[in-house]
Amino acid sequence: MSATDLNAETTIVLDFETSGLSPDQGERAIEIGAVKLVDGEVVDTFQQLMYPGKRINSFIEDYTGISNNMLKNAPPCEEVMREFSDFIDGFNLVAHNASFDSRFLDAELRRIQRNQQGEFACSMLIARRVYPDAPNHKLGTLVRYKRLPNDGTFHRALADSQMTAHLWLAMINEIKTSFSFRHVPFNVMQQLSRTTKSSVSHFLHREAKNQR
């Protein structure tokens, strides 16, 4: 069985806070948070600040609440990413705006000569299909729209990954209930993110029927 055939409720939901927008411009990760789900239950979490080898600017400090003072004694990115690489081994991955997080994950893993074998899914793209009537599909908006559990903290890696995990499971449950899935494979969630809005119902009815 390939990773994409696995149950979507068994996955790792992750979030990076970073020194800027793109690793191609020399920006680095400054915090990683992740929630490990097995059959829809949280079985483990990961959270760690990491020193990016340079000072971060005041905008990033204000946006994340992570200060240079907090980072100066944090372990280096390379040390944290070796530990995180072990944490995610064998799991598929989910992030809200996955194109951003996957770029930083791949860039940081390349620095330690590792790579991740799991598949990525984007909860933001999927939310656009599952919740088309939401005011927008930013994480904070969706948390309020669906009244998902949160402690009011945003733009910190573990808090954001926990909220994304709640969103991910809520979307899976919505799909299960509306379309009579026994379980939702990870690759169905991936394909859903690439399905046109007008085709969502047809696609999910077809995939559910294939399970019967």
Residue extents of the structural domains in the chain: 3-209
CA 185 to chain centre: 17
Half-sphere exposure in the Cβ direction for 165 (13 Å, CA): 29
Q: Per-residue pLDDT averaged across 131-144, rounded?
A: 96
Supply the pLDDT for residue 121.
98
Q: Per-residue pLDDT averaged across 35-39, rounded?
A: 97
Q: Classify domain 3-209 by CATH number.
A: 3.30.420.10
Give the pTM: 0.94
Q: What is the pLDDT of residues 8-22, one digit of tens each?
A: 999 999 999 999 999
Greatest Cα pair distance, the chain, in angstroms, is 56
Instruction: Look at residue 5 and tell me whether its pLDDT is greater than 90.
Output: no
Helix axes 157-179, 186-193, angle to 10 degrees: 100
CA dist 5 to 2, 23, 82, 165, 186, Å? 5, 30, 27, 19, 6
